[in-house]
Chain A
Amino acid sequence: MIVAIAAGLQPKLTFNPLDSAATVTAFIVQVSLGDLPHGSIGYQSIFAAGAVLFLMTLGFNLAGHALRRRFHRAA
């Protein structure tokens, strides 16, 4: 959300860090700011985007958990 203000809301695929781009969160916010009927494609796509975002954070969390267990065991 912070990024939505600082990095812009341009849905561009770029590797230039000075270019404006959009995050998954920014996409969801942008879509839900418009009129969003229940069950429409837009409605379903923000849930799909959210599921992807969740899988990404779940991956990080599991990695963090694995790291913590490993270092606890070593200590």
Chain B
Amino acid sequence: MLPDRFLEHQTEMALRRKTIDRWFGRLGFVLTLSTLAVLAVLLLNLAANGLSRIDWHFLTSFPSRKAAEAGVLSAWVGTALLMLVTASLAIPLGVAAGIYLEEYAPKNKWTDFVEINIANLAGVPSILYGLMALGLFVYKFRFGQSILAGGMALGCLVLPIVIVATREALRTIPAMIREAAFALGATRWQAVWHHLLPYSTGGISTGVILAMSRAIGESSPLITIGALTFIAFLPPPALLPHPPFVSFEWIFSPFTALPIQMFNWVSRPGGEFQANAAAAGLLLMVITLGMNGVAIFLRRHAQRNIKW
């Protein structure tokens, strides 16, 4: 082969490779846009069907047999209380477990085993947490079909997410911080409490909020433990006008939640209930997007204040 013909061939090949490269870039861009389009279609579809149903009456009414009079009062109150129980179970347990695994635990067969199992738990279908809660919390511990049992089921469900987020947040802190603390004679606990926890608060709270927005949309574990789909009353109030002022009776109250209410309306015939379902879905979407927004804000904020 002559040298100039060889060169020509090489140039041609290079051009072809560049064309393929450019086309893959375009394809990737379109595919990335299409995932955003899914979110847009989802929101538009919910808004088109349900936006007209959202008003003050919808937010302050109990479910009803008449679609036009039905509302989501008991559902959103139930969701809010569930999140309270879920958070107060998942945050302390998850953060403590994350700190232990990252800062205290030795590297051996036992911690390997624990790690594999946490990864495993994160991949277990949510309905199995519902079954566990049904057998353990509802019947064994006799919590009944209550907010406590539901919140604990969701708490167990998001526990692995909180643990992983905590570990990730701790892992981003440079080793020199720990070494400096130990060099000054700090115990592990002092290093964790005075340095590692404050520095990882942003990462941990981001993970916690993402975990909560996962829990808020779960319906199947709640259906398994027997959350009712038609609740026309509110749980007993948490604050009392007389001593002792605080009551925890509400944790044993039967409940419903937004996703359950939505599931119930979706499975009914008739366009009016479908509109109600879309409206409840829209509400759920807004809450979830809001929570994700807070998570993004916290991450930005935490990154800005820390300079190693």
Contact = CB atoms under 8 A, between A and B. Distances in A.
- The secondary structure that dominates the A interface is helix
Interface residues on B, range: 20 to 34
Specify which of A38, A50, A54, A58 lies most central, judged by the most chain B CB atoms within 10 Å of its CB: A50
Interface in B104-151: 116, 119-120, 123-128, 130-131, 134-135, 139
A13 to B, nearest CB: 21
Contacts of A74: none
A57 interface: yes
B213 interface: no
Nearest to B131: A50
Contacts of B124: 54, 57
A25 B263 contact: no
Given A5-B263, A32-B224, A50 B128 contact: yes
A29 B120 contact: no
Specify which of B119, B125, B218, B266 lies most central, judged by the most chain A CB atoms within 10 Å of its CB: B125
Contacts of B206: none
A1 B134 CA distance: 17
Contacts of B220: 1, 4, 25, 28-29
Interface residues of A, number: 21
A5 B220 CA distance: 12
A54 B119 contact: no
A36 B120 contact: no
A47 B224 CA distance: 11
In the A-B complex, the 6 residue pairs with the smallest Cβ-Cβ separation, listed nearest first, are A1-B220, A50-B131, A32-B224, A25-B127, A61-B120, A61-B123
